[in-house]
Amino acid sequence: MKKNKISFGTNFWSAYEAGNPYDALHVFFDFSHLDEYKQILSDVAIHGYRRKIYKQDNPCHVFVIYTALNSFIKVCNCLKRKSRKWQVKGSGNYSSIVHLASLSKEEYKNPFKVFRKAFEEKSLEQFEFFLCEIVHLSLSPRAVESDYDIITPYVYLVKMLDAGQLIMERGIEKIKKEKLSEDILSPVE
């Protein structure tokens, strides 16, 4: 049976179509830095409540970041599904609480938990709608209040950005068969 390839849509903003989620993650963090993504995401989310268009001199920048974040959400959803077969390299030790960023200690040790929790709370479509909603509000010349909860997906998206960066820093490896057998036999957290 032929497997269907998932399109992450990276060609819209990077001119390169990544074939697997790990490559797409590399492309995403090569395109821009974690700090810039977080800053723009925060600005766009807050700017929706103002009476001014965000980046009025160049609003197309918001659209480019929207397409990049939309691709990132698809990558995270795919990584959530692959988390049974892959693990993050390294022990996950940290020397300072600052290294944790928005992650808990358990999430820092296993960043795949962030993706599982996020997509248990909100679906892929809900995250995509969240991005559309904040972009729409930030590019509107009127202060409009959203009927949609933008806090929950915002928090999870920030956590996914931190987890994605951590995966990039530490790398991933296939889980050995003995470990995979133990995970299948042990109850899910």
> Is residue 189 domain-resident?
no
> Is residue 2 domain-resident?
no
Model's pTM, two decimal places?
A: 0.83
pLDDT of residue 4: 54
Q: Alpha-carbon dihedral of residues 103, 90, 32, 139, nearest 10 degrees?
A: -20
> Is residue 5 domain-resident?
no
Segments forming the whole domain that contains residue 135 = 11-181
Q: Does residue 138 contact residue 47 with C-beta atoms inside 8 Å? A: yes
Determine the Cα–Cα distance for residues 124 and 118; give it in Å rounded to an integer.
9
* Number of compact structural domains in the chain: 1
> Is residue 1 domain-resident?
no
- pLDDT of the chain along its 189 residues, tens only? 455 567 787 777 777 787 788 888 989 999 999 999 999 999 888 887 777 777 778 778 888 899 999 999 999 999 888 777 787 887 667 665 666 788 888 888 888 999 999 999 999 999 999 999 988 888 887 766 777 888 899 999 999 999 999 988 888 888 776 554 455 444 544
